[in-house]
Amino acid sequence: MFVRSGRQGCRGNYRVSRCPSRGGSEVKTSDRISSAFAAGREASRPLVVPFITAGYPTTTATVPIVTALAAAGSDMIEIGMPFSDPLADGPTIQHASEVALGNGMTVRKTLETVREIRASGTDTALILMGYCNPVYAYGIDAFIKDAVQVGVDGLIIADMPPEEAGEFLVGCSATGLSLTFLVAPNAPDDRVRKVDGASTHFSYCVTVTGVTGARSAIESRTVEFLQRMRKLSTKPFVVGFGIKKPEHLITLGPHADGVVVGSAIIDAIESVGGADAVVVDAASAVSTLVAPLCAAARQLAMTAQPDESRDRRET
């Protein structure tokens, strides 16, 4: 049951009851994200951040899949809120959204799923990723308060630029919910700085202009983009949209603070098919995919050279 307080609107009362940690004490939403980046910085390695779609392949599969991802070593986990018109997503994640919506997954059920994940004892930072319309329909104030209450740590709205995020910025600042904005490779320097400044803890670098989806190779201009990000940003940044192999992580990891793996996770779940044991098999499939990525990140830590720009980043 969600606790509501105050009227709708960007100046509502944001008194919320936060989800306790596994040990029973209250955890601020920003703590898990800050701790994750601090740990990565100390170890000189990028964070591994898998993405899944809530309600895919079934509504009951999400909790065990997230639990498996956390156990495999994921530093943060993005949970997609399914939407009928996901313009920034490629065919793989679009299909996952369609299936999840067909399963009856909604924003409210996604939040309830996060509550179940926290109740299972998972302390990994959880980032909700979605689009404006479902959140507007839910109510911005209500969504932010409910998200914090169930244990969400951060929020990414793929189709919302900083210029249009006034209500989100106010609500997230008031509750401690981290807000992240996307930046594309063709963004001019002043745009990069704006996204970096507006994002609470980290920004999200899109490695290609267009929609999401796994790529077979990483282009050299992607590395050049990340090197430019390193020079211009003051906060950590993660890179996504096309990552699926340990080789990709090894290529991009030294140039970013985190690597997001999305379509490859969905593909791994899809490979399970419609077997009766889909929940167990899907959890095993994502664990098998993510574990080598985490191992690659640790390998980078063993060979990393000191990076002063990484050390200066705020978390």
- CB-neighbour burial class of residue 140 (10 A; exposed 0-12, middle 13-18, buried 19+): buried
Is 112 a residue of the active site? no
Between CA 210 and CA 188 the distance in angstroms is 17
Q: Is 197 helix (H, G, I), strand (E, B) or coil?
A: helix
Rg of the chain over CA atoms, in angstroms? 18
The Cα–Cα gap between 312 and 315 comes to: 10
**Neighbouring residues of 159: CB distance < 8 A, sequence distance ≥ 6:** 87, 88, 131, 132
Q: Is 281 exposed, middle or buried (0-12, 13-18, 19+ CB in 10 A)?
A: middle
Q: Are 168 and 160 in contact (CB under 8 A)?
A: yes
d(CA 82, CA 62): 13
**Which member of 26, 31, 75, 89 is catalytic?**
89
Task: Decide if 89 is catalytic.
Answer: yes
Dihedral pair phi/psi, residue 154, rounded to 5°: -150, 170
Q: Which residues pair with 125 in a beta bridge?
A: 76
Exactly one of 26, 31, 75, 78 is catalytic; name it.
78
Element (H, E) at 297: helix 278-303
Three-state DSSP state, 77: strand
List beta partners, residue 228. none
Q: Known catalytic residues? A: 78, 89
